[in-house]
Structure 1
Amino acid sequence: MNAAIVDDMADECEILRSLLKQYEETERQTIHITEFHSGSQLLADYIPGSYDVVFMDIFLNNENGVDCALKLRQLDEKVNLIFLTTSSEFGVKSYDVRAADYIVKPATLEKLSRALHYCKIAEPVSDPSVSVITKNQPLEISLSCILYADYQNRCACVHLKDCLVPVSGSFAELSEQLTVYPQFMSCFKGVVVNLKEVRELAADSLILKNGERLPISRRLQKQVQQQRLSLSAGSLRGDEI
């Protein structure tokens, strides 16, 4: 589970971090924790799916935690939100952003466990995924969400249906992870495409279902076409990839 703590008080962050570590040991569930000392820090370059749960303090220095949560909800509809507050009177505000629960400070393991119980943390599924590091944080990306990967501005990038994810490490390492799966192929130097997202093969490019065009090497055209046909045949047979 990836968790973010948004609180401008360092001691409060430390308390919650300690409780999460206790929860981790009790539930035998690995938790990766990232701290932010303002809502704007969290929201800057936010990537949907980065966190399973965000603990948001309502009273932030020069910021309103509810307003920050509203902006976060616009960016990520699925992330679980848990408010941290000094008074239960603010609990009603949690409904505006579909928060899972709120914790009245001081936080305790009991309160934390109750709040996490209300969260919808996805269990590991059979849908294959790749593990990457982005902005010093681990991220699992489902293959079905990937359009293609490429190398630009000296950085390996994964293009999803709704955003772009810069990835630490070499493009060769990323390509190796992806091309283990038959729906991913190199179509050009520095470009690996998800063939399931290809609408048609043009003379010198691949046209994706969303209208984007990717270059294709002439020497790889036949191979790409054969692999697309193979994937289509497999789908008709009901084969799993």
Structure 2
Amino acid sequence: MKIALTGGTPETASALRDVIGNWASDNLPETEISIYRGGNQMLRQMVPGRYDLTFISSVMPDMRGIELVEKLWERTPATSCVFIASDESLMPEALNCHAFDYLVRPLGQEQIFQVLSDLRERLPQAAPFFRYTCDRRACHMMFHDLIYARSDGHYIELHSRSEGTCRIRMTMKELQERLRGDERFFLINKGILVNMGHILSMYGGFCVMDDAKRSLLPISVRRSPRLKEQWHRYIYQSLRRERSDGPLSRTVDF
């Protein structure tokens, strides 16, 4: 989700950014937040569709906040606007300009969280992620970023594009539960879980992964027919979703 904050004082904008950031860390880690001092600055720099949501203060140095809501509706109607004011006197105007919500100061954290949750329900499905702890740090990883995982006793090695390799205390069963049955993940052997979106090829009883090392992961003989079937189905469905007609460089040879 991409969010813009416009108007208000630097202190209130910073405080609002922190509240949104707290919500995003638990719900949409890839949320981006931009701050604009006034309406003209925002109008000069933004392009239609750039933001999913804008929080607009009635207090601005260069124009009335309600004027910015109106201009945004004309230029980028897909962007939802939340108007923030000191009382309800501007509510009819804001709603007439198709404001997504109207909030009265002082703002509570729960109010902001509710607005963000309501908007999330209207957006296309966000990319899923799971949480884990590594080196005493709370971390998250997008499903699409995980290449494969290999269990080692009570630990698991996660291999991903962004984080490389990290070793965490977790069982394979716990990891699969956190992945919530996502169709792209397949247990190819005892203790080895792969993301089918990162398989380059299969041959000789191995999966060739698309990490830097081109890792070879052994496939269980018993599971290979089902993996082959599911991987073919996954490729077919991926091709249907792709907008381009470029071929996928994947081969299968059992």
TM value normalised by structure 2: 0.47
